[in-house]
């Protein structure tokens, strides 16, 4: 592959990556813990957008359990967002396995 062709291909991929990042920011994933008691919503940029807590589970004598469910919901949503980003990135970089850092 000649250098000009490779540079043009990399510029194209860079533009596609920028577009993909913009699209990921608009996508949302949700994860629940405690059987739906706590639900966290995260975007594709792994930013926490929303957290819902069923008021019936708020027990002032057991705050630790609620904290654990919040952490589990957020971590699950973050993991889903990360997987979504990896899948989208794989669509772009699938044909560029020979370029370090892009496979």
> Do the Cβ atoms of 59 and 66 come closer than 8 Å?
yes
Looking at every residue in the chain, the average pLDDT score rounds to 86
- The alpha carbon torsion through 96, 97, 99, 103 (nearest 10 deg) reads 100
In a domain, 77, yes or no: yes
CA distance 78 to 45: 9
Q: Is residue 6 part of a domain?
A: no
Residue 8 has what pLDDT?
A: 87
The whole-angstrom separation of Cα 83 and Cα 28 is: 12
Domain total for the chain? Answer: 1
Domain that holds residue 34: 28-81
User: What is the average pLDDT across 59-78?
Assistant: 93
- 53 in a structural domain: yes
Note the pTM of the prediction, 2 decimals: 0.71
């Amino acid at each position: 592959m000649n250098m000009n062709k490779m540079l043009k291909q990399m510029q194209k991929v860079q533009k596609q990556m920028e577009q993909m990042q913009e699209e990921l920011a608009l996508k949302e994933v949700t994860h629940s813990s405690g059987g739906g008691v706590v639900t966290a919503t995260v975007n594709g940029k792994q930013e926490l957008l929303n957290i819902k807590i069923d008021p019936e589970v708020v027990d002032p004598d057991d705050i630790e359990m609620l904290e654990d469910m919040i952490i589990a919901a957020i971590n699950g949503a973050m993991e889903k967002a990360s997987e979504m980003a990896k899948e989208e990135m794989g669509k772009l970089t699938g044909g560029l396995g020979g370029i370090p850092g892009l496979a």
